[in-house]
Amino acid sequence: MAPHDAVLGWNEDTTAQAYEAFTREFPMYGATSRDLARRARLAESHLVVDLCGGAGATAKAILELAPATAHVISLDNAAAMQRVGRRTLDDPQLTWVTAGAEDLACHAPAAEVDAVVCNSAIWKTGVPRVFTAVHTVLRPGGRFVFNIGGGFAGVHHDDEKSAHPGPSLNRLIHQVAARDYGYAPPPTRLAPPKLPLEAVAAHLSRAGMDVVDSEVVAHRGTVAEKRAWLSIPVFARPDGDFTHAQRMDILAKAYALTTPDAPTVTSWLVVVAERPTGWP
């Protein structure tokens, strides 16, 4: 089954506009993008790819660190996300390309890209094909930097365990949905994580790249930020046969049971890979 935030829905104007508004009001995607851009070592870059760039939060972080002469390609398969991005980030150094990450090699020159940066998206893509395409476009010594949501990578930052003593907003959503809509959550299967570091390293190695660094990092936010994130249609819960209005009703009732300023922690696995200089 596709993950909850799989690509379906990203090409909707409602999602694109809500996502862009969220990134403007709350720091999560800006902060995670800046962290990846910093790890990509862009100071002397000429050409950088923002993979699955959406509405441009990551491209913005790249442009802040790359030289004024560098060029950035922001590639995403959701035209709606890029329409919003073009309106807010109009920069002559930036080209928007509407295409799947799997087809990156058709949209960037072979062996000429200094870095590929992918924030909050890689697990939604066809990973083996994408890694092969990234290897094709990277110059020898070029960096591929991406992150994976903690749940998908099977990692939890230590701070996540101690962050919030009460029930999470997700749990409250399920409780309210059960109480008011007769929602029966699907039985919890202990499914293995979709993309743990070992699998990532194996895929990278098959594609001809090496892991040079990895780290579990934490994004610290609030329940209010989580509520805003869960209001973006593509992330709204619970799964199943609900309208967006019903999901927002459930969210409002669940949120009313929380302390808005209570801290939350979101874990990410950050991976830095390189195309070796000696690779043919």
Ligand X SMILES: C[S@@+](CC[C@H](N)C(=O)[O-])C[C@H]1O[C@@H](n2cnc3c(N)ncnc32)[C@H](O)[C@@H]1O
Which residues would be at the binding site for ligand X (CB under 6 A)?
7, 10, 23, 29, 33, 52-54, 57-58, 76-78, 81, 100-102, 119-121, 124-125
Question: Between 22 and 183, whose beta carbon lies closer to ligand X?
Answer: 22
Chain residue whose CB lies nearest ligand X: 54
Q: What does the alpha-carbon distance between residue 137 and residue 109 come to, in Å, rounded to a whole number?
A: 6
Quote the Cα angle for 156-162-167, to 5°: 95
Q: Let me know the angle formed at the C-alpha of 273 by 277 and 229, rounded to the nearest 5 degrees.
A: 155
Taking Cα atoms as reference points, which of 265, 260, 262, 263 lies closest to residue 161?
A: 265
Smallest separation (angstroms) from ligand X to the CB of 110: 19
- How far from 171 is each of 7, 185, 186, 280, CA to CA, in Å? 24, 11, 13, 50
Instruction: Beginning with the edge strand found earlier in the chain, give each strand of the sheet holding 47-51 in spatial order.
Output: 94-98, 71-76, 47-51, 113-118, 138-149, 263-274, 210-222
Q: Pick between residue 231 and residue 258 the one whose CB is nearest to ligand X.
A: 231
Q: Which is nearer to ligand X, 177 or 200 (CB)?
A: 200
Of the two residues 138 and 234, which places its CB atom closer to ligand X in the complex? 234
C-beta of 153 vs 177, nearer to ligand X: 153
- Nearer to ligand X among residue 81 and residue 173 (C-beta): 81
**CB closer to ligand X, 50 vs 258:** 50
Report, in Å, the least distance between residue 178 CB and ligand X.
28
| Residue 8, phi then psi, degrees to nearest 5 | -50, 125
As measured in angstroms, the least distance from the Cβ of 203 to ligand X is: 15
Q: Where would I find the beta strands (DSSP E) of the chain?
A: 47-51, 71-76, 94-98, 113-118, 138-149, 210-222, 263-274
Helix (H, G, I), strand (E, B) or coil at 272: strand
Q: How far is the CB of 119 from ligand X (least distance, A)?
A: 4
CA–CA dist 7, 26 (Å, integer) = 22
Give the span between the Cα atoms of 222 and 215, in whole angstroms. 23
Cβ 234 to ligand X, closest distance in Å?
A: 8
Least gap, CB of 80 to ligand X (angstroms): 8
Is the bond preceding residue 238 a cis peptide, omega within 30 degrees?
A: yes
**Residue 143 Cβ, how far from ligand X at the closest point, in Å?**
16
